[in-house]
Amino acid sequence: MTDAAGLETAKWLLDIKAVNFRPSEPYMLTAGWASPVYIDCRWVISFTEARRRIIDLAVNLLKRDTDFDAIDMVAGGETAGIPYAAWIAEATGKPMLYVRKKPKGFGRDAQIEGSLEDGKRVLLVEDLATDGGSKINFVDALRGAGAEVSDIIVVFFYSAFPNALDTLENAGVRLHFLCTWADVLKAAEAGNYFDAEAIDGVRIFLTDPVGWSVAHGGRGAA
C-alpha cells in the first residue's frame, strides 16, 4: 500500500539519485542480505530542498501516528541517523542525543552522547530499516541508560525481509516509515526513471527476497 507521503518521498529519492539498481552485482546489506537494489539515504544530506521536505513529511507522520507531544528527546543512531535526528529535533524544538553502535571505550565509556535523565521518553531516528535487527542495539543502549523508547522512525523501510516488524514489536517498539520499495516502484514507473527491464528485476526480487538473497550469495531466513 502506498500513500501520498510515501510517493513524494520516493520521488525525492529518485530525483536526487539515491536509488541504486545493480542486479548483475548485488549489494550486500549490513544485515547480510543480498539485494539488487539499494537506497542511500545519506545522499539526502547534500540536497537542501529534498531534505527539508522529507523532514516536513516525517514530522507530519510523527504528529499523526505517535504521541509526539509526549516525546522528550530525539536520538539519532550512529552514523546515518544523526543528521535526520538533528533535523527533526530542530524542526520540533526537541533536545537531541545520539547513540553509538558500541561504547567508545574511553572517558565516560559513553554509548549515549548528550544529557539524558532517567525516565525521558526518546524517539529513535534512523535513515532506513531492512530486517530491524540493528535497531535493537540502539534501543537497548537507550533503555540501559534510563530512557523510555517505544517508537522508531526511518525514511525508508525495505518491507521485504521476514520478521522485521515482529522483531521490533517483540522488543516493544513501533516502526514508522515514510516509504518502501512499493512506493519507489510506483514512483519510478510513473516518472520513467528506469527501463521496464530494471523495474521487472525489482519485482522479481520483491516476489521472493529471501530466495533472491540466497541465490546471489546473501543470507537466508534464520
Give residue-wise pLDDT tens across range 36-66: 888 999 999 999 999 999 999 999 999 999 9
Point out which residues pair with 157 in neighbouring strands.
Answer: 129
Handedness of CA 77, 154, 45, 27 (dihedral sign): positive
Contact 152, 175 (CB under 8 A): yes
Within a domain: 96: yes
Decide: helix, strand or coil at residue 167.
helix
Report the distance separating Cα 144 and Cα 63, nearest Å: 27
Domain containing residue 76: CATH number: 3.40.50.2020
Helices (H), the chain: 4-15, 48-65, 81-92, 133-144, 164-170, 181-191, 196-207, 209-215
Confidence of residue 222 (pLDDT cuts 50, 70, 90): low
174 pLDDT higher than 60: yes
Instruction: Classify residue 220: in a domain, yes or no.
Output: no
**Residue 110: predicted pLDDT:** 83
19 Cβ partners below 8 Å, 6+ apart?
A: 13, 37, 38, 39, 184, 188, 193
Q: Is 6 left (phi over 0), alpha (psi -120 to 50) or beta?
A: alpha
Reported residue count of the chain is 222
Q: How far apart are CA 17 and CA 13, in angstroms?
A: 6
Q: In this structure, what DSSP letter does residue 69 have?
A: G
In the predicted structure, residue 1 carries a pLDDT above the cut 50 = no
Give the count of beta carbons closer than 10 Å to the beta carbon of residue 144. 10
Q: What is the DSSP letter of 68?
A: G
Q: What's the average model confidence in pLDDT over 158-170?
A: 84
Check residue 40 and give its pLDDT: 95
Q: Considering its fold, how many domains does the chain have in total?
A: 1
Is residue 107 predicted with pLDDT exceeding 60? no
Structural domain containing residue 210: 4-215
Structural domain includes residue 180:
yes
More confident of the two residues 57 and 181: 57
Q: What is the DSSP letter of 161?
A: S
C-alpha cell at 88: 527533526
